[in-house]
Amino acid sequence: MVEFQIRPYREEDHDAVREIFATGMSEYAPSLCLHVLRQPWALLALGCTFCLLLASARSLLLPILAITLLLALARHLVGCAWSAYIDRCLADDLRDIGAAYAESDGAHFWVAEADERVVGTVGARPAEADGELMLKRMAVRKDYRGLGVGTALGRTVLAFARQHGCRAVMLNTLMVQHEARALYERLGFHQHHRYVLPTIYGHLANCTVTVYRYDLA
Please report, as ranges, the residues that interact with ligand COA according to CB under 6 A: 24, 27, 138-140, 145-151, 173, 177, 179-180, 183, 186
Provide, rounded to whole angstroms, the least separation between the CB of residue 138 and ligand COA: 4
For ligand COA, the closer CB: 63 or 150: 150
Provide, rounded to whole angstroms, the least separation between the CB of residue 145 and ligand COA: 3
For ligand COA, the closer CB: 56 or 151: 151
For ligand COA, the closer CB: 157 or 183: 183
Provide, rounded to whole angstroms, the least separation between the CB of residue 59 and ligand COA: 43
- DSSP string for residues in 125-193: EE-SSTTEEEEEEEEE-GGGTTSSHHHHHHHHHHHHHHHTT-SEEEEEEETT-HHHHHHHHHHT-EEEE
Whole-number Å distance between alpha carbons of 169 and 189: 8
For ligand COA, the closer CB: 173 or 205: 173
Tell which residue, 134, 109, 80, 105, has the closest CA to residue 18.
Answer: 109
Provide, rounded to whole angstroms, the least separation between the CB of residue 114 and ligand COA: 11
- For residue 4, how many other CB atoms are within 10 A of its CB? 20
Phi, psi of 136, deg, nearest 5: -140, 160
Provide, rounded to whole angstroms, the least separation between the CB of residue 149 and ligand COA: 4
For ligand COA, the closer CB: 62 or 145: 145
61-91 vs 29-37: helix crossing angle, rounded to 10? 130
Whole-number Å distance between alpha carbons of 11 and 39: 43
